[in-house]
Amino acid sequence: MRLKTEQFTKEVWRWLCRQEHRWDYFGNFAEWVETQQEVDAGAINTYLTKIEPDDPWGPDNAKIVNVHEKWQFDKVLAGAYPFKQEIEE
């Protein structure tokens, strides 16, 4: 596991523990993260975002989105967890 992905996994899990989600424990979430695209250290932002905004977080209702340019923010839904934010508005 790359360092950025490991940091992402731990930080997002702490946040998810306060949200409605369907992962039983950290190990389940970490395994799911390993099956997703890599957290890109070169991205200006990385998000955990839902696929269906009204459903709980879970392995079938979440995805990792790396944003490299402002126009890519349309891939991120409201309520997403921002792993890093470096865009200045």
User: What pLDDT shows up at residue 50?
Assistant: 93
> pTM for this structure?
0.80
Question: Distance between CA 32 and CA 79 in Å, rounded?
Answer: 20
Average pLDDT value for the chain: 86
User: What pLDDT shows up at residue 71?
Assistant: 74
Q: How far is CA 7 from the centre of its chain?
A: 11
User: What pLDDT shows up at residue 21?
Assistant: 97
State which residues form the domain around 79.
3-85
Torsion angle, alpha carbons of 36, 52, 84, 2, to 10: -10
Q: What are 4's two structure tokens?
A: 């950025």
Whether the per-residue pLDDT at 27 is higher than 50: the answer is: yes
- Domain count across the chain: 1
At 82, phi and psi to the nearest 5? -85, 115
